[in-house]
Amino acid sequence: MMTLEIKNGVFGYPNKSILTDINFELNTGEIVCVLGKNGAGKTTLFKSMLGVLKPLSGSVLLNGKVIEHWNRPQFARLVGYIPQARSLPFPFTVMDVVLFGRTAHMSAFGSPGKKDYIIAEECLDMLNITYLKNRTFTHLSGGEQQMVIVARALAQQPSFLIMDEPTSSLDFGNQIKIIRQVNALKNNSLGIIMATHSPDHAFMCDAKVAIVHEGRIWKAGHSNDIVSEEILKEIYGVEVKVRSLGNKPECNRLVCIPTV
Amino acid sequence: MSIRMNQNIRRTHSKETLILILLMLLLLIIALISCTIGRYQLSSGDILHFVFTGQAVDQNMSTLLLNIRFPRIFGAVLVGGALSISGAAYQGIFRNPMVSPDILGVSSGAGFGASLAITLSLSMVGVQIMAFTLGLLAVFLVLLVSRIIGKNRDKILMLVLSGMVTGAIFNALISLMKYVADTDSKLPDITFWLMGSLSGITMEEIEVVLPMVIIGIIPLLLLSWKLNVLSFGDEEAKTLGVNTRVLRLTIICCASLITASVVCVAGLIGWVGLIIPHFARFLVGPNHKFLLPCSFLSGSIFMLLVDGVARSATSLEIPLGILISLIGAPLFLVFLSKSTKKSW
């Protein structure tokens, strides 16, 4: 089992810390959903976990070793990232974009080989988007691009996946497909940390939850214990009912019902 | 599954490979035709005979070919190709198709080096060495300045701004050199150098420049896949396993070396490094594995064609730099309107 761990982290930008006193541990084979309102610092947390943003103090450790001491390809072979916004200035094909995910597995001067193509193809297949293969990435809709980026992260074959709102801009069906994929990845013993704006996703994944609120991790624990009506009211400022769906096996979970 | 895959891979890249081969053939044919053009007319049969057997029809012909035509043709191929490939590389690292090789001040640095050397009455070799050195020095300054002022800020933006500032300073220094230079002897030389030309190029110069261009190109080709990954920006490239700082520095050094090497023998030739990568992207797409060689070949062909016009259109040779701007600027607009329709 591997761990991605934060010890006494203070994260943010010089002269402006956004998150303080962060202690957190993600193991392979578990899902953690990060909840919090817009601007709470979820993306800052993720960028710090990826070593893109240097911690102001404290440390982030991958398997006990500070992440600054990992070299980029080594780190990328273990930790994949699905970012929120993206821009691509050149018209690469979808296949090329998915192959970018294989970069960490290539040699310093390498380019994709036969094996990389096969893996990329499998990842497209897994998400049922093989039909996009030869399309130009920049011409796709936001949701299609999002699916391709998920495929890119899968092609990276990491042990941890950091997903920054992977379901934003996805249609209803694709949202569910991503959630199913996340569950399947967990069963393949990946560790997944996922920011989401829908508390239901935490219930659907039977996940742990970390709530980022007022510059710290305010609550953490299993979704069934943490995500309550009071807490949702506190972080989002709206009335929500949390109800059980009953005991039928296909929908044996809690749901959030906002009052309108 | 894997058999089908193999076919697919071959199908996806066969088009690009075919285009590169065709461009190579086209380059050879145009180079051959270029050899025949000039005041002293030669047939392509005679030239081929000379190339393969070493036997010339007469002494004049071998002197003409070896001392004038061949250096000029090689020069055009080298300068056009080098400016275009470094333009493509610069556009890749800056993630911006509007970037040209002089964005980090190579050209203005080299221009100042040359005008200073001319003012100081240095020899032709001295002028070239000064141009080369100051061209690279300008880039080094830009890297240094952007590093000092750009802590924790957008690195690409800082590089571009530092490049603009450094370029402005060197351009002011060029004007200063023009102002103090002797108006009868030095000023025309400086002006002529800044216009860019291939007319005086010798085989010895090419023998020096060629290895430097090759040294610059090899790492670019080896790193072409990583350059692709950089398209998504620094943060994502890092999370995909690319050491962006080292990669960018390596590519800037290589592309600047290539540019400085050709600028110091050919002077300031604009536009090529900006427009040719667009044309190449139009032909083979954005994958730098094909884009870089395609840029080189297209740039060589373009330069041969323009230089052919410069040499033969009028009895007085038109300076190459001027002609390229006259042809290049409208051509760029044509590409832009075409490419927005087709891809972006």
CATH of residue B310: 1.10.3470.10
Q: Does A135 lie at the interface with B, CB-CB under 8 angstroms?
A: no
Residue B88 distance to chain A (closest CA, Å): 12
Residue B342, pLDDT > 50, answer no
Closest partner residue to A91 among B95, B241, B286, by Cβ? B286
* pLDDT confidence tier of residue B10, bands split at 50, 70 and 90: very low
Is B173 inside any structural domain? no
A90: DSSP letter: S
> What is residue B311's predicted lDDT score, i.e. its pLDDT?
85
Residue B344, pLDDT > 50, answer no
Task: Please report which helix (H) or strand (E) contains residue A6, including its range.
Answer: strand A3-13
> What is residue B152's predicted lDDT score, i.e. its pLDDT?
67
The string of pLDDT tens digits covering residues A189-219 is 999 999 998 999 999 999 999 999 999 999 8
Is B215 inside any structural domain? yes
Q: Does A84 lie at the interface with B, CB-CB under 8 angstroms?
A: no
Under a CB-based contact definition with an 8 Å cutoff, are residues A120 and A98 in contact?
yes
Q: Does A51 lie at the interface with B, CB-CB under 8 angstroms?
A: yes
Q: What is the mean pLDDT of chain A?
A: 92
List the domain range (segments joined by +) for residue B25: 2-100+196-342
Strands A254-258 and A240-244: antiparallel
For A101, which residue in chain B has the nearest alpha carbon?
B240
Is B38 inside any structural domain? yes
| Domain ranges (residues) in chain A | 3-258
> What is residue B339's predicted lDDT score, i.e. its pLDDT?
63
Under a CB-based contact definition with an 8 Å cutoff, are residues A57 and A10 in contact?
yes
Residue A153, pLDDT > 90, answer yes
Model ipTM? 0.91
Identify which of A154, A163, A161 has the alpha carbon closest to the alpha carbon of residue A190: A161
Chain B residues with CB-CB distance to A149 below 8 A = none
Residue B144, pLDDT > 70, answer yes
Under a CB-based contact definition with an 8 Å cutoff, are residues A240 and A256 in contact?
yes
The string of pLDDT tens digits covering residues A174-191 is 899 899 999 999 999 999
Under a CB-based contact definition with an 8 Å cutoff, are residues B193 and B115 in contact?
yes
Is B245 inside any structural domain? yes
Is B73 inside any structural domain? yes
What's the Cα-to-Cα distance from A170 to each of A100, A136, A166, A175, A216, rounded to whole Å? 22, 19, 8, 6, 29
Q: Do A89 and B95 touch (CB under 8 A)?
A: yes
Q: Which of A72, A105, A125, A159 to mutate to test the interface with B (most CBs of B within 10 A)?
A: A72
Q: How many CA atoms lie within 13 A of B9 on its CB side?
A: 17
A108: DSSP letter: T
Between the CA atoms of A236, A196, B239 and B141, what dihedral angle is there, to the nearest 10 degrees? -30
Total number of domains in chain B = 1
* pLDDT confidence tier of residue B5, bands split at 50, 70 and 90: very low
Is B165 inside any structural domain? no
3.40.50.300, 1.10.3720.10, 3.40.50.970, 3.90.1150.10: CATH of A3-258 = 3.40.50.300
Higher pLDDT, B51 or B93: B93
Is B129 inside any structural domain? no
> What is residue B97's predicted lDDT score, i.e. its pLDDT?
83
> What is residue B340's predicted lDDT score, i.e. its pLDDT?
56
Residues A183, A189, A192, CA angle at the centre, nearest 5°?
60
Q: What is the mean pLDDT of residues B123-140?
A: 92
The residue with tokens 């991790």 is A217
Chain A residues with CB-CB distance to B224 below 8 A = 111
| Cβ contacts of A108 within 8 Å, gap of 6 or more | none
Q: What is the mean pLDDT of residues B320-337?
A: 84
Q: What is the mean pLDDT of residues B298-304?
A: 96
The residue with tokens 């003409």 is B64
Q: Within a 10 A sphere around the Cβ of A106, how many other Cβ atoms?
A: 18
Closest partner residue to A104 among B223, B241, B286, by Cβ? B241
Q: What is the mean pLDDT of chain B?
A: 88
